[in-house]
Amino acid sequence: MALAHKGFFPEGIPVGFTEKSLIAFSGQERVPILIDQGTIVTESWTIACHLEDSYPDRPTLFGGSMGRNLAGFIDAWATRSVFPLLVRLVLCDVVDHLEGADADYVRTSREKQMGLTFAAMRQERDRWLDPFRQSLAPARSHLKRQLFISGEAPGYADYCLFGFFQWARMISSYPVIESSDTVGVWRSRVLELFDGFASKAPASSN
């Protein structure tokens, strides 16, 4: 989304969970990785900062130095207060989209991380729905006043929260948010940005 915001729609290279060798060149083991004219940049936040600093004449992601720091807080909020609850709702469905070694790797590593089998997660997930939706209270209240978290136009603060929704949308058909919810309306709005860029990704749900 940050790339699209800057007007870039680069080629994406799918990387399986067990294909770490494909990304060894980056000196670490996780996606996303951006290769920008030979420069390798890893991790979403660092990529966003790289794009903002390298392409200052394109639409801004942060709106200045203080805006960048405040977006960093919202990134931390989405990561610490929202994502862990979303994981409870949809992570168990990710194996439906994986095969062979990838499915085994994800099941084993995630079940260990969570201290819970995917079957158990599926069984108890309904009780995490209210806490998840409550965690969105600040966004719900804020989005009653404006179209996007960042204002009348979207920015990185929107994309960091949206990214988690997009992850959920791609791996699970579990209805994490009602379309009539203020946050659900915002999610649909972000899906439509850049000629429906995000809506074209393969989805399990809408």
Judged by beta carbon, residue 150 or residue 166, the one nearer a second copy is 150
Give me the phi and psi of 32, to 5 degrees please: -80, 155
Residue indicated by tokens 């469905």: 93
Cα separation, 1 vs 159, whole angstroms: 6
Q: Does 60 bind a second copy (CB under 8 A)?
A: yes
Q: Does 117 bind a second copy (CB under 8 A)?
A: no
Q: Does 81 bind a second copy (CB under 8 A)?
A: yes
Stretch that binds a second copy, among 5-13, 27-35, 73-81, 197-205 (CB under 8 A): 73-81
Question: Closest approach of Cβ 138 to a second copy, in Å?
Answer: 4
Cis before 32? omega within 30: yes
131: number of Cβ within 10 Å: 12
Residues 158-177 that bind a second copy (CB under 8 A): none
C-alpha angle 20-116-43 in degrees, rounded to nearest 5:
35
Binding site for a second copy (CB under 8 A): 60, 62-74, 76-77, 79-81, 135, 137-139, 141-142, 145-146, 148-151, 155, 157
